Chains A and B, each alone.
Chain A
Amino acid sequence: MAFEGGVNAVPLPHSPANGGEARRDRLPSLERVVSAVTCLGCGCMCDDIEVVVRGERIVEARNACQLGVTWFGDGVVPASARVAGRETSIEEALAVAARLLGRSARVLVYLAPDISCETQKEGIALADALRGALDSVTSATAMSSVLAAQEQGRASATLGEIRNRADLVVFWGVDPAMRYPRYWTRYAPEPAGLHVPAGRRSRTVVAVDIGDSRAPADADLRVALSEEDEVATLTALGALFSGAVSLEDWHFLATPWAHARALVPVLRAARYAVVVADAEASAGGDSGRASALVALTQLLNGSVRCALSTLRAGGNRSGAESVATWQTGFPAAVDFARGYPRYRPYDGAAAHRLARGEIDAVFVVGAAGLIPGALQSMMKAVPCVVAGPRASESDLAAVDVVIDTGVAGIHEGGTAIRMDDVPLPLRPTLSGSPEATAVVRNLGNLVRRSRPRQPGGETGPMTRTGTPESAR
């Protein structure tokens, strides 16, 4: 009864379009259709994609949105290994990379997008062995929402729960059509669910425009806020909803309160409200917004239920946070310098360390092209190894060692984690590219062999009695 792989090879009749081409594969004219493929184009991670493969190319990604179609592309990726710009074998590139990282004192291991959790595990193991720093794209793009949730917790739900239950959907300064195109049709408000049988008609949609960030056009109620009023409106909403300030008696007509007054009756009428906000937009300096969103959505759980749905971008970013958390206790911005993980989100993210000149070598694993540009520039300034999809075509192509790998979910299987922390399998549709997991594991083995054993820990817990002293 084990699921046997989901690859439904559907041979199609000979196609004249490509029939004349000489191909290396045995069945040049056949198309294969791989179903239930997971797309990493954005954090929605739609897993209903039917990928049509002809020869060694993807020719169609059925069910995918435009973002997904672009993400799959034709699946053709470079397969280069370079040392100092010179083409070489993967083996030699790995040997040089191992020497470079092995002799460095302060290595940064950076988890870029488009790698599986299995690859992320290998990258974190390497950071641990090297007593390096560890970081991922999260710290540059979504850290304020991570920190807000660590400070206060959060009230949330997986996307399927929202699909089946949310009767009020508030798009807070975001139109998912732009960066999360199928959120609307797969999760909410479009689909019918167990408790919202008429789909869109069973749900109320509220659009909150914030400055230039427009919410969807198809809304039952629209409120437009200035960026300056955003946090004040969130806190005013909380005060009015909870009854700390009486809706009837309040005559303070500053705009945040006016907006809040318009929204409160809709919230009170809901059974299950979801507030959808884009965590990736919160690049920095706006923890007030992330915190206020968390606080409000927690507070709305009283007479109604409420969940905050934070949108995350693609490439298995949530996976990097999850794996780092189970291996180190922290989601990003980790420092192993003392031989154990420490959390440095405020001053020890990759950008901080590189800017202060604390890093003497960088190892990027994943799609370098998806790292924020400012970080890429700083990485280029120190000895650097990049292993990942399209490394040789990225802006980091000229660094010391470059190893192209396949893309997780296209050339390599494994696990990825959706924006709501639901894990999904990745189904490779093409083969032949070096697998990132194996590349990083081999590199790790080479580095460990080249470095003397670090002084490690006694097995402390065994000498303790009762509850861990440090936790008391």
Chain B
Amino acid sequence: MSQLRIAGGVVHDPLNGVNGDVRDICIDGGRIVDDVSPASPRIDARGMVVMPGGVDIHAHVASGSVNLARRLLPEQHEKDPVLAPVLPDGEPPTRSGTGGTVPTTFTTGYRYAGLGYTTVFDAAVAPVLARLSHAELDDTPIVDAGFFVLMGNDAYLLRLIAAGERESAREYAAWLLGAAGGYAIKIVNPGGIELWKRGSRGLTELDTSIGATSVTPRAIIETLVDAAGSLGLPHPAHIHCNNLGLAGNVTTTLESMRATRGQRAHFTHLQFHSYARGPDGERRSGAREIIEYVNAHPEISADVGQVLFGPAATLTADAPVEFLLHKSSGRKWLNVDIELETGCGIVPHTYKEASAVAALQWVVGLELFLLSADPWRVVLSTDHPNGGSFLAYPELIRLLMDRAYRSEQLERVNQRLLAGSALADGITREYTLNEIAIVTRAGPARLLGLRHKGHLGIGADADLVVYTTDANRARMFATPRYVVKGGALVVEEGQLRRVPTGHRLHVRPAHDAAVERDLRAYFSRYSAVSFENYPVGALRDAPFPLIKDR
């Protein structure tokens, strides 16, 4: 790979304490180096902003469920056609596709890169469908990518917890990560999806019994948080709490955070889990209570799952939520109960400024951002495509950086449920460019344990973005001037120029072979897939090192 010098840019590299300093960034062999030959190609970045490539900690881009959402939404694809990008001669053929809120795989790769994002994680993959995620990621160019493995309603795991065998549960989690080729442990509505499959319609609280009395959401969280820690996974358990979106779920969310007992844990799309209950029984903002807890607990990290006005596709393993949304909105509804593991629900949705609930959701997300004391631990996401498309990130950045613009937008939305909310009372904070660099790159990379990403220090992956400065931050972040991925210049003058293949980010923790013996028997008794056919097998890229192996 060739050498390259990004010369004279205003560099934001918060991990290395670089905050708007003018300096050169040198690249050789796909990595950041100290210096390159003066004869190397150079990009004149004077007056422009240079940041590491974006890292998306939580999106839905490549899974069996994502593909079911694609199939469900032909009307969105028909409205957003994408021609194959034209590359210079000698580059491999590119592919056409369609966009909408759930774009086709090639288009997903092109658009992420075009936005300056170079690393993406799919947040919810049922292990029995993992093979599909790898196949879709094989067709998602440019970005490095991985996925999180759904475990919070896994029937075998629940059996181990019921039997009090938490060590075996840890070994099973290790086996499952390797079998799926995943990167981290994901918990979605722990136990609640199993209850949905059983026809329960009640709330799922932390001590609700899931079949056996010893199996509760609390026990599931404890078991998997412990497992992630003791296995030395680069990313802690990634938790989507119970009772998503319901009035009063603040209590559930706080109780879930306490259930981690001081260990590292990541709480995802916090916006959907920060609802107080008003005297009328309706939702109110509970953002302050939640974020104050997060601020005071350094072991907790979060992404926001901001809602942006416009079309979205709600798509989640939390199938009971989608049933309720379908019943309340009347929009089309897809549900798939996934064997012995999890669920999948999909409902298209539109967040409207005129809707009181959508306005409240929008406000709660912004409050979480603006009241967060530590941008390293509260990072940016829209839970793409749930809160809005990843293409809405620039709009979100503008809302965070531009108070006047934010106030203008706030005035346009339905005020009915906003009384007493912090944002309505006026929050003056504006994110700085450095803070944006933290919540979109440096922070997520650190939370994911990606030591070579999210920064521009010597030895880091040469993933970086050059932006033309623009007072309109949405425009600035939507249209990078240059994007470099792994040392290759993929976007030049705003145009896609190269389409390299991304790397697969996955872990393969060792596990006690004894776990496989019992699993074989379990598979032959209950599974509709042979034990031998369940693991995805060897992947092209080597497994990512565990913390203890570093």
Contact = CB atoms under 8 A, between A and B. Distances in A.
Interface of A: 1-3, 6, 35-36, 38, 47-48, 117, 121, 125, 128-129, 146, 149-161, 163-165, 186-187, 192-195, 271-272, 298, 301, 303-305, 307, 321-323, 325-331, 336, 338-343, 415, 417, 420-425, 448, 453-468, 470-472
Contact of A462 (B332, B494, B511, B532): B494
Contacts of A456: 83-86, 94
A462 B474 contact: no
Contact of A3 (B494, B511, B532): B532
B98 interface: yes
Interface in B50-81: 64, 67-68, 70-74, 76-81
Given A468-B389, A472-B311, A329 B77 contact: yes
The 6 closest A-B pairs by CB, nearest first: A457-B83, A160-B339, A329-B77, A160-B528, A329-B98, A466-B395
Interface string B98-125: 1111011111001100110000000000
Interface of A is mostly: mixed
B522 to A, nearest CB: 10
Given A272-B199, A340-B98, 11 more contacts: A1-B535, A47-B529, A146-B71, A152-B332, A153-B333, A154-B334, A303-B199, A329-B104, A424-B131, A461-B111, A471-B100
Contacts of A160: 128, 339-340, 526-529
Interface string B307-335: 01111000000000001001000001111
Nearest to B534: A3
A417 B64 CA distance: 11
Nearest to B101: A471
Interface stretch (B132-140, B162-170, B268-276, B442-450): B132-140
A383 to B, nearest CB: 24
17 contacts: A128-B96, A164-B155, A164-B340, A186-B528, A271-B198, A305-B199, A321-B71, A326-B67, A329-B103, A340-B83, A341-B97, A456-B84, A456-B86, A461-B110, A461-B391, A467-B310, A471-B101
Contacts of B394: 465-466
Contacts of A448: 93
Nearest to A155: B335
A94 B364 CA distance: 60
Interface string B494-538: 111000000000001011000000000000011111111101011
B526 A125 contact: no
Nearest to B309: A467
B339 A164 contact: yes
Contact of A161 (B64, B339, B395): B339
A462 B98 contact: no
Interface of B is mostly: mixed
B391 A468 contact: yes
Contacts of B334: 149, 153-156
Nearest to A270: B199
B479 interface: yes
Given A339-B96, A343-B78, A461 B175 contact: no
Given A325-B67, A457-B83, A164 B93 contact: no
B524 to A, nearest CB: 9
A330 B74 contact: yes
B478 interface: yes
B322 to A, nearest CB: 9
B392 interface: yes
Given A35-B532, A421-B64, A424-B529, A468 B100 contact: yes
A423 B97 CA distance: 23
Contacts, number: 301
Nearest to A124: B95
Candidate in A326, A338, A343 with the most chain B CB atoms within 10 angstroms: A326
Candidate in A38, A195, A423, A455 with the most chain B CB atoms within 10 angstroms: A423
Given A457-B86, A461-B391, A468-B80, A161 B537 contact: no
Contact of A472 (B111, B310, B332, B338): B310
Nearest to B327: A302
B337 interface: yes
A221 B139 CA distance: 48
Candidate in B310, B478, B491, B532 with the most chain A CB atoms within 10 angstroms: B532
Contacts of A423: 64, 129, 131-132, 135
A327 B82 contact: no
B191 interface: no
Contacts of B535: 1-3
Interface string B229-246: 000000000000000000
A334 B369 CA distance: 43
Contacts of A304: 199
Nearest to B99: A468
Contact of B135 (A117, A272, A328): A117
Nearest to A156: B336
B77 to A, nearest CB: 3
Given A194-B340, A457-B86, A462 B480 contact: yes
A340 B81 contact: yes
Given A150-B72, A461-B110, A467 B391 contact: yes
Contacts of B346: 153
A340 B96 contact: yes
Given A156-B336, A326-B139, A338-B81, A459 B494 contact: yes
A35 to B, nearest CB: 7
B197 interface: yes
Contact of A149 (B72, B175, B199): B72
B475 interface: yes
Nearest to B196: A305
B486 interface: no
Nearest to A462: B114
Contact of B131 (A125, A305, A327, A415): A415
